[in-house]
């Protein structure tokens, strides 16, 4: 027999549904804007994504570290809307703090050593290949960020399949950004693919963390 649902959880469910729907709508507007080349739509929708997802997480009783990770992601999102060189480094720094929050959230849960070896190989190969084509002043910061991001992606698997997939998609999204910085050939509409994988990553990390820590009752809205 399942445990009764707490009254507060019942009251929060409509709010959670509304916030999740708003996040989905903002994501759709952002992705369609990128495909259509509508820059104003992207600039309006992108800064709304992580606050809406963070608000959804709060409505489901998320731990503070998860909310902090999402909000530092929001900081990176906003900073990367600027084309100024300092904004790129500051945005990368904001995302890096978010990854530290995720790593603290994951704690000491066990993760597959074989998966760790695969991520380590992917990290080494990516850095070695990108290194010659990165601007000299960005090589060390990008390599350090890549190490932190890969650690987060690997450790995300400790919370289960959803969070693990979210970590992998986050790594893919930022790798697409790095190939652009290195002036490598990229797929058509690269910003669309960056944002698609990024928003999916953050959603899966959020859902996976809530499910791992509280069970399906906190993620079923």
Distance, in Å, from the CA atom of 164 to the CA atom of 205, rounded to the nearest integer, reads 7
pLDDT given for residue 83 in this prediction? 85
What residues have CB less than 8 Å from 141, skipping those under 6 apart?
A: 89, 92
CB-neighbour burial class of residue 130 (10 A; exposed 0-12, middle 13-18, buried 19+): buried
Average pLDDT of the chain is 92
Q: Residue 48 pLDDT > 60, yes or no?
A: yes
Per residue in 151-202, pLDDT tens?
999 999 999 999 999 999 999 999 999 999 999 998 899 999 999 999 999 9
Distance, in Å, from the CA atom of 119 to the CA atom of 166, rounded to the nearest integer, reads 14
Tokens of 170: 């986050």
pLDDT given for residue 39 in this prediction? 95
Residues 98-106, mean pLDDT to the nearest whole number: 97
């Amino acid at each position: 027999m399942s445990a009764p649902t707490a009254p507060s959880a019942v009251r929060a469910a409509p709010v959670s549904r509304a916030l999740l729907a708003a996040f989905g709508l903002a994501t759709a507007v952002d992705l369609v804007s990128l495909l259509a080349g509508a820059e104003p739509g992207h600039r309006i929708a992108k800064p709304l994504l992580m606050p809406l997802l963070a608000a959804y997480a709060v409505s489901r009783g998320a731990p503070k570290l998860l909310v902090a990770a999402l909000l530092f992601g929001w900081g990176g999102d906003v900073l990367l809307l600027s084309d100024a060189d300092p904004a790129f480094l500051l945005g990368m720094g904001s995302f890096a703090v978010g990854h530290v929050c995720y790593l603290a959230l994951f704690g000491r849960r066990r993760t597959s050593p074989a998966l760790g070896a695969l991520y380590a190989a992917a990290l080494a190969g990516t850095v070695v290949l990108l290194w010659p084509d990165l601007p000299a002043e960005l090589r060390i910061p990008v390599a350090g960020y890549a190490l932190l991001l890969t650690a987060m992606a690997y450790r995300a698997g400790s919370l289960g399949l959803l969070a693990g997939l979210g970590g992998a998609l986050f790594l893919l999204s930022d790798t697409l950004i790095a190939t652009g910085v290195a002036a490598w050939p990229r797929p058509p509409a690269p910003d669309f693919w960056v944002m698609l994988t990024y928003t999916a990553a953050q959603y899966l990390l959020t859902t996976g963390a809530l499910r791992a820590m509280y069970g399906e009752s906190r993620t079923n809205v």
